[in-house]
Chain A
Amino acid sequence: QKEVEQDPGPLSVPEGAIVSLNCTYSNSAFQYFMWYRQYSRKGPELLMYTYSSGNKEDGRFTAQVDKSSKYISLFIRDSQPSDSATYLCAMMGGGATNKLIFGTGTLLAVQP
C-alpha cells in the first residue's frame, strides 16, 4: 500500500464547476500538507501549503486537512479552463531528513 493514495482521474468538469480533489494517507507523522499543480510538460509548482489540521483559502482555492481521518482535500471554485492540469498532493513529517511524499496526481480537465 502506498503511503499516499490519490485518485488518478481523469476528472472532467464544465467551466464554472466546483472541483474537489482528495488524498488519503497512512503515516500519522505527516504534519505538512501541500498541493502542487503540474501543467503538461512542465515541473510541479506549489499551489497550497498547510500545516497540521484545518482549512486554508487562497482566492478560488481552499485546502482542507483532517488529520484524524488522514484525509486532505483541495477545492477549486468557479473552475476555469486554465485550471486544467495534474494536481499532486504532497506531505511530509518534521525533521531535516524527512522526505516529501507525493500522491500519484489527479488529471483535471475543465471544459469551456
Chain B
Amino acid sequence: DTAVSQTPKYLVTQMGNDKSIKCEQNLGHDTMYWYKQDSKKFLKIMFSYNNKELIINETVPNRFSPKSPDKAHLNLHINSLELGDSAVYFCASSQKGANVLTFGAGSRLTVL
C-alpha cells in the first residue's frame, strides 16, 4: 500500500494552461508538504499544511495555490503555467513537529 501517492505521475501541457496535482497520504500524519525539484536536483519547499492549516508559504508565485480538504490530502493547483514551472513536484508528509518526511514518487510537469 503506497504511503504517499501523487497523481498524475507525468503531466505535459502548454504554456498558459491551468493544471492540478493531487496528493494523498495514508500514514495518519498531520503535516503535508509540497516541494519542487528543478533539473539540477535542488529540492525546495513550497508549502506546508498542518491539519488543513497553512503553516509555511515560501516565496512562491501566487499562480500556485495549495488546497487541503482534510489532513490526508494536499492538492496543488497551478494557473497560467510558464516554462519555468517545468520540474518534478514532490508531496511529502510527517507527524506534527517531526523532522522526518515521507515523500511521494513525484509528479513530473513539463510545460511546452
Interface size bracket, A side: 20 to 34
Kindly state the separation between the CA atoms of A39 and B58 in the bound complex, as whole angstroms.
Answer: 26
Give the contacts of A56-84 with B (CB-CB under 8 A). Answer: none
Interface centre among A49, A97, A99, by most chain B C-beta atoms within 10 angstroms, is A99
- Does B63 touch A at the CB level, under 8 Å? no
Kindly state the separation between the CA atoms of A92 and B56 in the bound complex, as whole angstroms.
Answer: 14
Q: Which residues of A contact B92 (CB under 8 A)?
A: 43
Q: Which residues of B contact A97 (CB under 8 A)?
A: 48, 55-56
Give the contacts of A26-62 with B (CB-CB under 8 A). Answer: 32, 34, 38, 41-46, 49
Give the contacts of B21-48 with A (CB-CB under 8 A). Answer: 40-45, 48
Interface size bracket, B side: 20 to 34
Interface centre among B42, B58, B90, B96, by most chain A C-beta atoms within 10 angstroms, is B42
Closest B residue, CB atoms, query A93 = B99
Query: With A8-B40, A44-B43, A88-B43 in contact, do A100 and B103 touch (Cβ < 8 Å)?
Result: no
Distance in angstroms from B58 CB to nearest chain A CB is 8
- Does A104 touch B at the CB level, under 8 Å? yes
Contact of B101 among A38, A46, A86, A96 (CB under 8 A): A46
Q: Are B40 and A49 in contact (CB under 8 A)?
A: no
Kindly state the separation between the CA atoms of A14 and B55 in the bound complex, as whole angstroms.
Answer: 45
Closest A residue, CB atoms, query B105 = A43
Beyond A42-B105, A43-B105, 17 additional pairs, beta carbon < 8 A: A34-B99, A34-B100, A38-B41, A41-B106, A43-B4, A43-B90, A43-B92, A44-B103, A86-B41, A92-B99, A96-B55, A99-B45, A99-B48, A99-B58, A102-B43, A104-B40, A107-B41
